[in-house]
Structure 1
Amino acid sequence: MRLILVRHGETEWNKEFRLQGTSDVHLSALGRRQARQLAEWLPDKPDRIFSSPLLRVREFAAPLAERHGLPVEIIQDLREMSFGRWEGLRYADMEPVDRELFEKWCLDPVHTLPPGGEPAAALGERVARFLERISEELAAEEVAVAVTHGGIIRTAVTLAMQMPPAAAGRMQIYTASVTILDYYASAWHLVKLNDTCHLAN
């Protein structure tokens, strides 16, 4: 079974370096173009397409679903983590106390909590739940695409590879990138990480 994890394309807030979290933000013009590029490039024909409920992800998944004539299955567990009161802010907009906490969170997201945000442990639990569901529901020859967020993909790779939770904070996942996990012999195997070759042109 193959799970293709795709991060949504660029949004206006990505361009402005604002924290998005669970805020609903539209794709930018570039993000919409990235969605079309991904849909045209994807070499594996998916059997199922899953999506975060957030707007930017649903917009990104739409061209892929249309191309393959598949419904988009909304999965709540694929939503991005909440950044609480940091959402919509740039680092430059933060109060000094929040800047200090944000820097600490960047270095140690496992033990640092954004004010009013989602704990890393809760994020890990729902990503683990999704991975377990996929491994049980899909047949060995099936391919699923999950269009989601950077935090979800980092956490999924960390869990699949049995890495320390803190490793997720040291993993870069670009907008519109592709990460592939295969499941066989009762274990996940990392095939591709943060691939953006389909965006070359």
Structure 2
Amino acid sequence: MKTKDLFWPGFVGLLTCMFVVMLVMFCLSFKVYSGKTATIVNQNSRLMAVEKEYLRGKRINGAVEALRKDTIFDYLPSGNRFIIRPLKSKELFERNEATLKTEYLKELVNAGHALQNFLQRQHSKYVEIPFLLIIEGNVDENYDNSLTKEKNAWSQLSYQRGLAVYQLWNNAGIDFQKYGVELLIAGKATGSVMSSEEKGHVFFSIRLLPKITIE
């Protein structure tokens, strides 16, 4: 009787130990699996983010490339900017001033409308890609030869020239910002932006850059 009396408590104890061991193994397995699952999810999220940025970059490159092929604008690789092709080498401003010459106003307005139409098309195709449009004025050290070569004077005149172009376009009803474009007026105080291989005056240029957003 004593042997039988000891069998069942021992058997129950053995089952209990096995249950505890299986429970521990289950918990360990679950933890390992959960860790691997989290790693896989994180890796998948990173891959999806990379894919998203790749596609976004591809669309941006396609948009900027379209402007490079435009018949109105010429691309200057030395400064990553655009100039108006019909006005290349033209003296757009009065010497040492920020006043636009009247004979070039019509071509400037036409170019502004062409740029607005381009941005409208890009906005309709890629509404999720906002652009930063920089209108940058400039001085020419040979043309503006009576202007003191003092940095502040060059900065002010170059900025005023960029502003003059913007005001001309604004008065003509050209509005870039309604297409999600952020506008910046700038001035380049160091003289001509053109490289030695590129000839002609550049009194203002534009840059079209994707806006960087941090999510």
- Normalization by structure 1: what TM-score? 0.31
Larger Rg: 2
Which structure has more relative contact order (CA 8 Å, sep 6+)? It is 1
- Normalization by structure 2: what TM-score? 0.30
More helix by share: 2
